[in-house]
Amino acid sequence: GAVVSQHPSWVICKSGTSVKIECRSLDFQATTMFWYRQFPKQSLMLMATSNEGSKATYEQGVEKDKFLINHASLTLSTLTVTSAHPEDSSFYICSAGDRDRNNYEQYFGPGTRLTVT
């Protein structure tokens, strides 16, 4: 149990275009989902917390107009990187909090490698 999927697993896009990444909890309901970014050989940095049916909460320094987050259902959250630039190239990972465990335990997706050329 506790499986989280992400799609796509990798994407290459041109500078100035937008990219959407999906995060799904496959076998549990997630009231809260989290989006992280990870640069090579660094740890995970939380970008935003996404709650089903409400606006996302962004961490300090993360541009909410650039990283659009939508959490439309208890099993799906999306991250859209708008007007992507090469510096947005990174490994994006989502996690989902198991509602039945009061979000105490978070399960991570496999990540999405974004390369902006």
Partner 1 sequence: EDQVTQSPEALRLQEGESSSLNCSYTVSGLRGLFWYRQDPGKGPEFLFTLYSAGEEKEKERLKATLTKKESFLHITAPKPEDSATYLCAVQSSNTDKLIFGTGTRLQVFP
Q: Cβ 68 to partner 1, closest distance in Å?
A: 20
Q: By CB under 8 A, name the one of 21, 28, 32, 37 that touches partner 1.
A: 32
Is residue 104 near partner 1 by the rule CB under 8 A?
A: yes
Q: By CB under 8 A, name the one of 4, 19, 84, 114 that touches partner 1.
A: 4
Q: Which of 93, 90, 89 is nearest to 116 (CA)?
A: 89
Stretch of residues binding partner 1 (CB under 8 A), selected from 2-10, 11-19, 65-73, 80-88? 2-10
Total residues found in the chain within this entry = 117
The sign of the torsion formed by the CA atoms of 101, 103, 104, 108 equals: positive
Pairing assessment for the beta strands 112-116 and 10-13 based on DSSP bridges: parallel
Q: Which residue type does 68 have?
A: L
User: What token pair was written down for 14?
Assistant: 């041109």
x-marked contacts with partner 1 along 74-93 as a string, rule CB under 8 A? -----------------x-x
Q: By CB under 8 A, name the one of 29, 70, 82, 106 that touches partner 1.
A: 106
